[in-house]
Chains A and B, each alone.
Chain A
């Protein structure tokens, strides 16, 4: 390979790495095997991975594919919510209803993509998305300006979601655990992203906390993310089964040794 070609290849690889970083300067998103959200689109199964969400969100923002915290958060909400409400069944896209107090672009675009409501999607098979204001009323204006007004004062209470099976009314409410957020996260976010009053050190600190939170959202199991999901019960070890096996093994071993000695 010629040197120029090699340099172009390295540059392309570096761009690929940078593609997942939402926050300027943030580390690439860690590897995570979340599995896809599977929905039926007019009866046809469609698998939606976090990379599809990143591409859709990046496309709407006019940027590179980007899986930001809000995208990952809404993705985990939908994965867990669909699993809670539908169990092993695959939901029809048009049967999925989502309510979200998180009104950011990332959350909105992710919910749009999964429910099929957003630009470039088939409106005929779309579900329903409702953004909820902090006072509990449904937002009617989804414009960036209207949502930015709410996002300024983002707090833990905004990470509240409801996934509903529209045909039956069955729903699951999910709220993010408080201990996921590093100390002072929301204050730093406001200083860096809203008020623009953060010092360089504060910006660096926010960047670190932002990356830490995204890694947790990507890698932690559902029961460590959401208050409503119980951890799986630990299985008691099968002492009887293991004991019988070990006893048989020891008896057989001893028998073989004795047989060997007797032969001598």
Chain B
């Protein structure tokens, strides 16, 4: 096992664990373990079933796929599992960003105008963020290997 391989294994393992933990947290908050919380730039609201319970389950499976890739030797099948796990994060993060985009276009309910101001629109993307959005930059390593076709080197 070369140095690159062990680093990538560590990276995938940590990302898988954090994704799994975030997914479980989403589900637990939705189930009522907490009324929803915000720590720093992380926020888990937990109100909506499809976003937090269903979305949390998708993150859980994303984490499991990544952790599942750690078993065995470095093969294309293993990398496929990692990409699948990352794709789960991209789906949820993508829908979260799209939701923010849609919410930021109209002005508030009490505002007389329909469209938001530029400052209001940009401010709609301010923290705090959902766990999936926070995980997004950490999946860029996978994108790099995917685009460069260097999965056989890891």
Contact = CB atoms under 8 A, between A and B. Distances in A.
Report whether chain A binds chain B: yes
Interface stretch (A96-104, A132-140, A240-248): A240-248
B129 to A, nearest CB: 8
Interface in B107-154: 119-127, 129, 137, 140, 143-144, 147-149
Interface residues of A, number: 17
Interface stretch (A5-13, A27-35, A170-178, A252-260): A252-260
Contact of B137 (A236, A252, A260): A252
B97 interface: yes
> Which DSSP category, helix, strand, loop or mixed, fits chain A's interface?
helix
Contacts, number: 48
Contacts of B149: 263
A263 B123 contact: no
A259 B126 contact: no
Contact of B123 (A238, A252, A256, A260): A238
Contacts of B144: 259
A259 B147 contact: yes
B147 A242 contact: no
B147 A260 contact: yes
Given A238-B127, A241-B127, A249-B97, A256 B147 contact: yes
A246 B119 CA distance: 12
19 contacts: A237-B120, A237-B122, A238-B123, A238-B127, A239-B119, A239-B126, A241-B125, A242-B121, A242-B123, A242-B124, A242-B125, A243-B122, A245-B125, A246-B125, A248-B137, A249-B125, A259-B143, A263-B147, A263-B149
Interface of B: 97, 119-127, 129, 137, 140, 143-144, 147-149
Interface of A: 236-243, 245-246, 248-249, 252, 256, 259-260, 263
